[in-house]
Amino acid sequence: MADQEFTYADVSEHVSKKDLFLVVHDKVYNASSFVDEHPGGEEVLLDVGGQDATEAFEDVGHSDEAREILDGMLVGKLKRQEGDPKPKSYGGPTAATTSDGASSGVALYAVILIGGVLAFGAYKYLQSSQESH
């Protein structure tokens, strides 16, 4: 069954919760059985149903376990035809590194900000306790 070829037109007909196909890296997956179990919620899958979900799948940074689950839903490969949307180019590790760096920067900023607030609070507390003596 995984040898079957699907066109975009074929995939785009499967967009309901009980019949949901999506494309990731030019492979076609039937995600119907996983909609209710998807940790990100069913809306996430329904939003990309019937279309190329490569970018959405990779941007989230799915675990190896998630990739194994995806492999279990493989039903075939995408047969590209003239006029189809261009394949989603995903930069792979380079793009992941960039997004990880961005989230690390935000986390570092949050730690510095919280540290500053705590230091200011400790300073004010010590200042007020010295004035009461």
pLDDT one-digit tens code per residue, 64-77: 999 999 999 999 99
Q: Please, which pLDDT band fits residue 125 given cuts at 50, 70 and 90?
A: confident
Q: Please, which pLDDT band fits residue 98 given cuts at 50, 70 and 90?
A: very low
What burial letters (b/e) apply to 78-93, b meaning 16+ CB within 10 Å?
beeeeeeeeebeeeee
Q: Is residue 48 within 8 Å of 56, Cβ to Cβ?
A: yes
The whole-number average pLDDT for the span 3-23 is 94
Q: Please, which pLDDT band fits residue 20 given cuts at 50, 70 and 90?
A: very high
Which of the two residues, 7 and 133, has the higher pLDDT score? 7
Phi-psi category of residue 114: left, alpha or beta, with phi > 0 → left and psi -120 to 50 → alpha: alpha
- Type of residue found at 54: T
Q: Is the pTM of this model over 0.95?
A: no
Give the pairing of strands 4-6 and 74-78. parallel
Q: Which pLDDT value is given to residue 75? A: 96
Half-sphere exposure of 27 (CA within 13 A, CB side): 16
Q: How far apart are CA 59 and CA 95, in angstroms?
A: 8
